[in-house]
Amino acid sequence: MSSTPDTHEAATSTGAALALGDDALILSHRLGEWAGSAPVLEEEVALANIALDLLGQARVLLSLVGDEDELAYLREERSFRNVQLVEQPNGDFAHTIARQLYFSTYQHLLYGQLASGDGPFAGLAAKAVKEVAYHRDHAEHWTLRLGDGTTESHERMQRACDALWRYTGELFQPVEGLDVDHAAMESAWLASMTDILGRATLTVPSGPRTGAWAAGAGRQGLHTEPFGRMIAEMQHLHRSHPGATW
């Protein structure tokens, strides 16, 4: 055996940092696309606030792995390790809220577990879990308003929940280096969805929670088509000036 337990631990926590860092980086970017287009001024502030929290988390996590800008701007699509859920296009406000509800509930459970342990992410998670609690509350409140608002908002919110449901299974696939109980997280997440969607007069989607592709998904570097265009936009300026500092 060539690697010591210490270097093995470092390598696995690097993979985990990349997975969590990419989740935060990509969702932050998608939320940033809302700037100037939110349905109400208060949401301009709220969505930007969430995007900034996530970007802050991403910068800490990516810096554990290497240079944050090299990792964000110079990796190819297949090297990103984020779940497919976070890269999904914003769609209408209901889709953005459904994506936030699914992701922030997962992230809150995850960071809650990491914060209570003594692993390499405990410090970051202890700070982030407070931010994410707000993200989750924000998504929950909007899910209730849209689900139990008008006929149109109810239909839009249901469609959004249904459309993104197939990306939620991946959240609970084990990630090497993350010492958490994925099964417990998944049942807590499902219980939470049942509760919130129920109170929002919405139906818990019944379709499959993962895609049929045996090759895997985001954690394996397999992404959806819109992701390539998203990172092309994100990276083009940085890549156009190799070696420049900003």
Give the interface with other proteins as residue ranges (CB under 8 A).
25, 29, 32-33, 35-42, 44-45, 48-49, 51-52, 55-56, 58-59, 62, 68-69, 72-73, 92-93, 140-141, 144-146, 148-150, 152-153, 156, 195, 199-200, 233-234, 236-238, 241, 243-246
- Alpha carbon distance 190, 224 (integer Å): 24
Nearer to other proteins, 93 or 165 (CB): 93
Nearer to other proteins, 8 or 239 (CB): 239
Cβ atoms 218, 88 nearer than 8 A: no
Residue 126's region, left for phi above 0, alpha for psi from -120 to 50, else beta, is alpha
Nearer to other proteins, 146 or 217 (CB): 146
- Alpha carbon distance 208, 220 (integer Å): 19
Measured from the CB of residue 102, what is the shortest distance to other proteins in angstroms? 18
Measured from the CB of residue 240, what is the shortest distance to other proteins in angstroms? 9
The dihedral sign for the CA sequence 210, 84, 138, 108 = positive
Nearer to other proteins, 69 or 176 (CB): 69
Cβ atoms 159, 170 nearer than 8 A: no
Measured from the CB of residue 205, what is the shortest distance to other proteins in angstroms? 19
Per-residue tokens: 200: 């929002």
For residues 37-62, one letter each, b for 16 or more C-beta atoms within 10 angstroms of the residue's C-beta and e for the rest, the string is ebeeeebeebbbbbbebbbbbbbbbb
Measured from the CB of residue 214, what is the shortest distance to other proteins in angstroms? 33
Cβ atoms 127, 48 nearer than 8 A: no
Measured from the CB of residue 85, what is the shortest distance to other proteins in angstroms? 19
Nearer to other proteins, 32 or 119 (CB): 32
